[in-house]
């Protein structure tokens, strides 16, 4: 077996192991970023729901009490 070939195999295996650990770190960072983004979006939606009360629905009269639908 050639020494250069052995070194090449070792270098390739080392690079692949390093790439796998780098991928795992990148995925962990991505998951954390998505969790933070989801938390921020939930906070913003809660803030909008609190500042904008829902208007009362019409219960009498001709405007807003009937829905016409056509299929």
Burial 2-37 (b: 16+ CB within 10 A, else e): eeeeeeeeeeeeeeeeeeeeeeeeeeeeeeeeeeee
Domain ranges of the chain: 24-50
The pTM assigned to this predicted structure is 0.52
Instruction: Quote the pLDDT of residue 32.
Output: 96
pLDDT 10s digits, 11-68: 888 888 888 888 889 999 999 999 999 999 999 998 887 777 777 787 888 777 877 7
């Amino acid at each position: 077996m050639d020494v250069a070939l052995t070194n090449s195999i070792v270098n390739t295996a080392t690079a692949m192991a390093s790439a796998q650990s780098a991928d795992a770190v990148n995925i962990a960072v991505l998951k954390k970023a998505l969790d933070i983004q989801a938390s921020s979006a939930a906070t913003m939606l809660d803030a909008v729901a609190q500042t904008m009360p829902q208007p009362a629905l019409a219960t009498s009269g001709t405007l807003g009490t009937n829905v016409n639908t056509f299929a």
